[in-house]
Amino acid sequence: MSGTSLDGLDLCTSTFHLEDGSWRFEILKAETIPYPPELLQKIEKAYTISSPNEATEIDVVLSTYIGEQVRNHISNLETKVNLLGSHGHTVLHQPEKGLTYQIGNRPELRSAAGLPTVCDFRVGDVDLGGQGAPLVPIGDALLFSEYDVCLNLGGFANLSLERENRRVAWDICPVNIGLNHFAAKMGLEYDKNGHIAASNAMDGPTFYHLNQLPYFSEDPPKSLGREWFENAILPKLDQLNHEASIATLTGLAAYQIAKTLQEVDAQNVLCTGGGAYNKHLINMVKQSISGELTLPESTVINYKEALIFGFLALLKMRGETNVLASVTGASKDHSSGVIYA
């Protein structure tokens, strides 16, 4: 898994098994590999493309790189690995135009990894009229059913839950995609524990303006991408100093997350993703909701999405549904992904 915050490649080796009709998992090994600076620059440059044809070179490079890292990751495992599931890295996501493109999903991935591979999960959903996101909710439903809401705080915050006997999910707001952006301008990787946000005041007018953005009042299914953040959020925050930008964006995230959790009457929330370590953000949310916010063990916080993309690959190979129309807005439930056997 490689997310919008570009903090590295998440690798997670897991076992899955059915027990009395329910899925169980165990994480055997997990690690994050930071991208080499040269590769990171190429990935960031790929954000400027307008069509997949413009990014073939970096697509080949990233596919090969991911495969090599997977091969290294599993090289000293005692357990035989049977299957690779890979999300790739999203560089273009405009589902309203029928477009979504994740680099790192070419046949070179399978060749370099030396494993049967399932990848490129989003395109099939967009072809069926869906948002192509989020895809993780079926994993939430089948692997984490003891929680009534699963909240992920990654580049964007998103949640999934059962509503009227069907799974629904949507992106809530930007989180690390913006916080890491401004932290980098200050020479930092991220705002550790939310210290910068906690030590500086939000800009009230900007906070108010951002909360009026149409996306926040739209009904799901809906999803966010880097393009939306750069067009709708960044111009307003760029008018502030970096500290105020981080404080304002943290306040925006806390408000929108808490508001959403209250609206869905969340009582038992599983919170994962890098943003779960942002103590200031978590405290702001906890103070504004009536339900319980649970932070699991660190491997689940860090690698739940990578875990679930492996699970999606398994479901695909079993010929079972791995994308829910109730979540993405597609014309039907389906089994998505490209198989390189």
pLDDT tens for residues 299-335? Answer: 999 999 999 999 999 999 999 999 999 999 999 999 9
pLDDT (0 to 100) of residue 104? 97
Helices (H), 28-175: 37-46, 56-74, 107-113, 122-127, 137-143
What CATH number does domain 138-299 carry, 3.40.630.30, 3.90.79.10, 2.40.50.1070, 3.30.420.40?
A: 3.30.420.40
User: Which of the four pLDDT bands, split at 50, 70 and 90, describes residue 129?
Assistant: very high
Which residue intervals of the chain bear CATH 3.30.420.40? 9-132+309-340, 138-299
Q: Which residues touch 273 (CB under 8 Å, ≥6 apart)? A: 152, 153, 154, 157, 175, 176, 301, 304, 305
Residue 260 has pLDDT above 90, yes or no: yes
The torsion angles phi and psi of 152, rounded to 5 degrees, stand at -115, 130
Q: Give me the chain's average pLDDT, please.
A: 96
pLDDT (0 to 100) of residue 304? 96
Residue 216 has pLDDT above 90, yes or no: yes
Question: Residue 178 is which amino acid?
Answer: G
Residue 51 has pLDDT above 80, yes or no: yes
Q: What is the mean pLDDT of residues 248-263?
A: 98
Give the DSSP letter string of 136-195.
Answer: THHHHHHH-TTSSEEEEESSEEEEEEEETTEEEEEEEEE-HHHHHHHHHHTT-SS-GGGH
User: Which of the four pLDDT bands, split at 50, 70 and 90, describes residue 50?
Assistant: confident
Look at residues 65, 80, 76, 42 and name the one whose alpha carbon lies nearest to residue 112. 65
Question: Residue 210, SS3?
Answer: helix
* Two structure tokens written together for 219: 């009904």
Whole-angstrom distance, CA of residue 158 vs CA of residue 177: 13
Residue 297 has pLDDT above 90, yes or no: yes
Whole-angstrom distance, CA of residue 173 vs CA of residue 6: 17
Q: For 9-132+309-340, CATH number?
A: 3.30.420.40
Residue 4 has pLDDT above 80, yes or no: no
Q: What is the mean pLDDT of residues 233-248?
A: 98
Q: What is the mean pLDDT of residues 212-217?
A: 97
User: Which of the four pLDDT bands, split at 50, 70 and 90, describes residue 255?
Assistant: very high
Whole-angstrom distance, CA of residue 68 vs CA of residue 108: 10
Look at residues 295, 307, 277, 226 and name the one whose alpha carbon lies nearest to residue 10. 307
The torsion angles phi and psi of 96, rounded to 5 degrees, stand at -65, -20
Q: What is the mean pLDDT of residues 220-226?
A: 87
Q: CB 273: neighbour CB atoms within 10 A?
A: 23
User: Which of the four pLDDT bands, split at 50, 70 and 90, describes residue 6?
Assistant: confident
pLDDT (0 to 100) of residue 223? 86
pLDDT (0 to 100) of residue 221? 85
